[in-house]
Structure 1
Amino acid sequence: MFGLTLLACRISLSENNAHLPLRCGKRWYASPPPPLSDNAKGFLTTLEHSSEEELTLHLQDRMQFSKEAIACLVCVFDRLHSRIDNMCKHVQASAGEDNSQSDIINVNHTLLEENSRLRDLATLLQGRHHKMSMEYNELVDKVTSSETKVSEMETTVEDLQWDIEKLRNREQKLNKHLAEAMEQLKSGYSSTGSSGGLPGGQITLNIQKFESLNAELEHNQELANSRMAELEKLQAELQEAVRESEKLKIDLRNIPEEVVKETLEYKCLQSQFSLLYNESLGVKTQLDEARALLLTAKNAHLRQIEHMESDELSLQKKLRTEVIQLEDTLAQVRKEYEMLRIEFEQNLAANEQAGPINREMRHLISSLQNHNLQLKGDVQRYKRKLRETQMEINKLRCQSGDTAVLILEDTTSDGIDVKKEEDEDHEEEEEERRKELERQRAREREREAERERERERERERQRSDELKRKDSDTLKMLRVELKKAQESQKEMKLLLDMYKSAPKEQRDKVQLMAAERKSKAEVDELRMRVRELEERERKESKKLADEDALRKIRVAEETIEHLQKKLAATKQEEEALLSEMDVTGQAFEDMQEQNSRLLQQLREKDDANFKLMSERIKSNQIYKLLKEEKEELADQVLRFKTQVDAQLLVVQKLEEKEGVLQSTLATLEKELSVRTQALELNKRKAVEAAQLAEDLKVQLEHTQAKLKEIQVSVAENRTARERESSNLKRAQEDLSRLRRKLEKQKKVEVYSDADEILQEEINQYKAKLRCPCCNTRDKETVLTKCFHVFCYECLKMRYDTRQRKCPKCNCAFGANDFHRIYIT
């Protein structure tokens, strides 16, 4: 019982939203407890006066109701959070929708406002319903408690009536016995008086009468005091009840705002309102931001589409013009290449015809130069021998001592001859050196010319290979471009299909169809050009292959013939040189003339070669410039292609975004339909709630009328019960008084002697000192509230069994309200 009361105290304190410290035994918490409210006091009084079963049932009802209320609150908050999250997701997803969604957004906004209004109305109705249900439950509890009290009072009244009847019957019997006893006493007194009894008996009878009168006086005083105390208590209770009723009436008429604000319902509603208001503000700001983002994204999307369309048209025009320019430049370069190739072949043929002759002449010149050098060496050797012989002759002449004149003449003539011969030798050596230098220079020039020719041949071969490679590369590029154009055509077809499926203006459709036709025509033209270029390439490759093979065969045959001729010439030259060693002078002069002529021819050929080289360098420079221009144009084409691919990717992304937005639009439409259905359901629920509220109002009025009737009947029953209780008390007092008289009469009748009477009185006093509950143990504990005395075991047993009321006056007592006493 003690644990249940503590649990009830905690529940009442938690319901009144007061963090109050509890006292369990003699243990206190930190802060002093504030005063309890009226609801808590009423709840505690009901818990004190109710039994264990009623306590458990009441607490189970309270716990069930609190659990249901908390579950409803949690469900409502979960729904609100889920709705807010879904709304935020849909608002963020619908950031890139078209202008057509603005109407849907406005309708959605109005529906949301209507939904919030209906939700507020539903919450208000739920609050009213909850309040009315709480009042109804309280009234039902009061009715049930009053009915139980009435039934208990009826049972007690019936029991009391039964006891009163029994007491009346007993009183009648006692009155009869008393009358009989009085008659017997009178008859006994008369007999004793006639016989002349003892004076001691009279003394004892007088003492007994005096004691009985004193006892009656004391009893009457006790009755008067008890009735006076009861009257004072009833008067005080009446005044307190009147004051409480007036105070409650005043409190009901003028309920302060602080009390309303301190209630749990008001605080819960205030917290819910603040949360919902903040969430609504956040959702509103998110909605505004989403609308702004939607408008900006839409405008940017339209601008990007227009910019992409204009860029695509300009790029198509640029590509067409650049392709035409590239084709023109390619045709010009091919013409120049053919002209240069023809000139190069002509120069090669001329050089091949003059090459063997020049080689033979060079070989002849080199052989003759070697022969001349040998002859010069022989001449110088012979001159040395001549000088030596002349020196020996002069020595011999000097030794012999012949005529000095002859010697002098001879010496002068010899000196003049020697000087002349030496001068001629020096001049010849200088001329030979000059000729050798000129020959070496001519040889070096010829070698350089041959090297340059070989280099030119290699360059021409490399150029032809490069041209072939470039032609093949251009063909590959054109094929790749054709494939890309086909892919772009397919993508444009897909774009056209996508744009046809979407509702747009007729001008856009006409422009797209015209662009598609133009792209088809351009693709067909490019295919024809590619085929023509492939055929040209095949023909040129065949021609070049045939011409190269024939030219190589001719060159090989010419080299063979030239080598054979060279062999025969070398043999003849050897024979002629062996046979014609004597006529070297004439041949030398002829060869010098031929050398001069050949040198002039070589100079002329060198000039022609230099001219050809300068022209070739110019053509190479022009070719390089054209090649660079072609590479730049190819880079531009690649850039434009990359730009087109990037724009196509952007278009695909925009199409994907458009599909996503369409899907989100469909989902939003579905959600709108679902929300309209939910709105209709909420309206129906609101109507049903209003109907339920009206029904509950009718039921409340009916229950209030019943409650008033029950209260009237309870008041009547209470007054009747009080009357009966007062009558019962008086009857009990009369009964006790009559019992005493009867006992005294019995004692007088039974005990003749005074000692026996005194012994009986002693026994009565001992019985008064015994516990009235068990009538076995002595009185040893007193209740400090009502000061009634009982034995310790009975009070302890009543305290342990939770019957904590006085057995005589029903005054409640606690653990510290009874103490031991010692009667000596």
Structure 2
Amino acid sequence: MAKRSGVSVDSENINDDSDTPVSKKRSRYMHIDAMPCLSSVNDVEIFLLKVQNKRLFGRLNQNRRIEDELRKKIDNLESHRIKDDALLSLMSAYLYQIQEELVMLMKRVSQTFPSPSHQSISSIETEESILRLCPNMKRNIIDDRLREAFERCTNMIRQIVGINSCIDKKLEQVNSETKSNAFHNERTPPCSSSSFQSFSSESRTEFDEANLLKESNTFHEKPLHLQKCLQELETKNRELSIQNKVLQNEIALSENRLQQACVRVKDLEDETEKLLVREEQTNSRIAEVNAQLRQAASKKSTVGKQLQQQPSTSTIRNGPTDDGSRRGDSNVQRSVAENSEYEALAEQRLKEINTLTEQNKQSQRTIQMLRSKLENLDVDMVKQSPTYRNLEVQFKLHLRNSIQLKTIHGIVMTEQAKVDNNMSLTTEEQRTKKSPVAEQFEQNWRVLKVEEERLIAKQRRIEIDEEYLRMKLRALDGRMQQMPNIMSVAESKLQKAKHEQKLLKLKMSDVQAELNFTREELERLRRLISSSVVVPLSNADDVESTLEKEESLEPGEIDESDEDDEKLKDKTLDEQVVELKKQLRLSKRAIARCHAAMDVYKTKSAENDDITVTTKKLRMENSFLRAHIRRMAKKIGVDRLEFIKLADDMLSKQEVEIALLKTKLENKEGNMSTLYEEIGTTGDALDQALSKNKTLADLISEKDNAMLRMMEKQLATSQQMRSLEGEKKELAEMVRTLERQLQVQDADKEQLLKKLSFVESNLFRVVREGQRVNELIANHRNEYVELQSNLLTSTQTVKKLELSLETTRQDLTKHIELLENAQTEANRFRNTIGQLEKKLRRAYRGAENMKETTVVDLQIREEQIFALKQKVLCALCKLNQLNRVLLKCGHLFCHICIEKLLKQRQRKCPSCMALFSQQDVKNVYI
């Protein structure tokens, strides 16, 4: 009882509110006011359908809210995707610019200082870039390649440090030589031609030194940037590997869920097969019952014909006939009471069906309102939506980025023109010469280019992995889209089974009505049989002959008499024998009819106990009559001599007997008129029963029509659910279109990469021309100092490149995370739909397995609720809740009662009469 006391009182109010979310764990018991009088299984099913409709309405509201939230999230993800694409395009352009500058600088260094890294630099031109190869590679390969690239960058930095040390040594040698040459020039006088040549050479060296300083400053910053970029790429690759594992786990979970759904679908199919088997069994039983009813109807028709052919019936007023008539009256009263109960149940069912139809109409109206709102959405409203505005902003950002790229390209072209002008100043002799430092720089630049190409390859492979995952997700989406069709087929089968069960129940009710009608007719037959009584025969020897000739005689040849035994003695023997034969034939035929009517109901024990008792009594009466006939035959045989002696007296009395016979004939005619009147009354009663049967048939047809309307409305609701599923499919198509747009953007990116490759080829030409400038630098002493500055700038550029690579990794990871989040949200949306469908199935199963709550339990719950309310309410007013406490005595009251006491200056507690002040009153929250 403790568990049952915790029932929620306002369960209907919770289900009625469409805005409030439906709780997962609901109370198992309904409110007492909602429980009608449930007298049959159909009433229980109708009541459960009402409750399920309320719950489904709440769940539909929840689904709509979830759909709105998912649409908002999808719009946000689209905006983030567009931003990420713009950032990727910018970062790719920036990386290619850094690549080109590194190639230029490394070639210049390789010309000046040869090193063993020449092979790695030469391999840059042959291999593809890392950013291009990344989508074609797997995650593990990308991680390995990034580690190798990082190790190579560290080796290159070490080589650059070694080159710096070599350059320092050579600078010291050059300084010592310059000092010796200066000392020698001070002793020797200057010449005009030599002075002019030295001045021209010094002017050229100063010009070249200025250019080299600029280039070295830019080159020194790039290696540091590259290191940072490499570190960021490593971190991003780790994050990508973690995300890949998470995605694989989610895919495994989704596959497990699909398997579970398939298993449940199989279970539903098994249940439908079981229902079909049950339906076949019920159909076979109904066929048997119909066959029995047909037999009973045929026997009724034969009995009715025989009753019409009989001209009259005889009645006797003895004891056993009175008992049979009383029992027949009681059976008639029972049948009338049963008919009244069935009529009341039919009215209740009609009322409940009308309420269900009204609720379904309301649900259809709400669904149509929502559809009309969706269809009436204007284009202007869509343009004013935040998603459309975000897309416009993102498009403007793309345009700005494209303009910036054009300006950067123009700056690069101007720099190329400047380099060409500088190259034109050099001579052909100086072009042929190469410095070892420039060669080392070229080699280092080639190594860096190879590493960048590997990074590009890894990025491409990452994109391929993303596409593979998308393909898997699409396949899963296809399976999930097929699941609702399978579930709809199973639901349709279940609905058909339920509909057929209801039709079977209606047929059983019709069968019961026909059985009641047959009972009434059998009771009337019993009355007619009880009214027919036999008079004893005059001779026992004639009994067997009469029994043999009964079948040959027709009912029209039989005459009945209403005289007593004393009057029959006055008649002749022949007349007495004929009359007794006729009466015995009538009684035997009535008994045969009763046996034929009783043979139909031999199989049913519980319903036909009264009929079996009546048959036994009729058999006893028949045996009693036969014994009486035999006794009378013996008496007639003893008194035969006395009748012969009195024959003479009889002749004298014939005239008197003729007069008596005339009076008897008149009495017989009166009796026949009364019998005809009784037959008329019985015919009127039969007509009334037939009219009642017609009215019952009309009511049953109305019930059938109402149930068919209900089924049509249920089909309409199922069609509406299918339309909602079509809207969900449209949303999935919208997501697919967005994915196609992303693919188009990827194609645009590939075109941009091709353009950048073309720019790289042009820049290689510029690099070749830069080699000529390096030949000029090899002939001058000040080149070593400038090379040191170039090395410093190159380290800085490497660091900057590393930072840029790290930023690109972060952007890539963010983009991938957003895509994965979108996919996970879509999967969650589908999972929620599947869970709702499962809950619907569970609700149908629970509705079938739910048991009716008894009235006693409900009364106990009402008493418990009333007791709890009394505990919470104030003892004085019994209206408000307890929210004030008296600290001295600890008793609880409401604030209104305490304020009244304080105003009236009654400072005593009403329960214990303890004194208190206003300071002793405190608030309490219960």
Under a length normalisation based on structure 2, what TM-score does the superposition of the two structures give? 0.26
- Which of the pair has the greater relative contact order for Cα pairs under 8 Å at 6+ separation? 2
Under a length normalisation based on structure 1, what TM-score does the superposition of the two structures give? 0.28
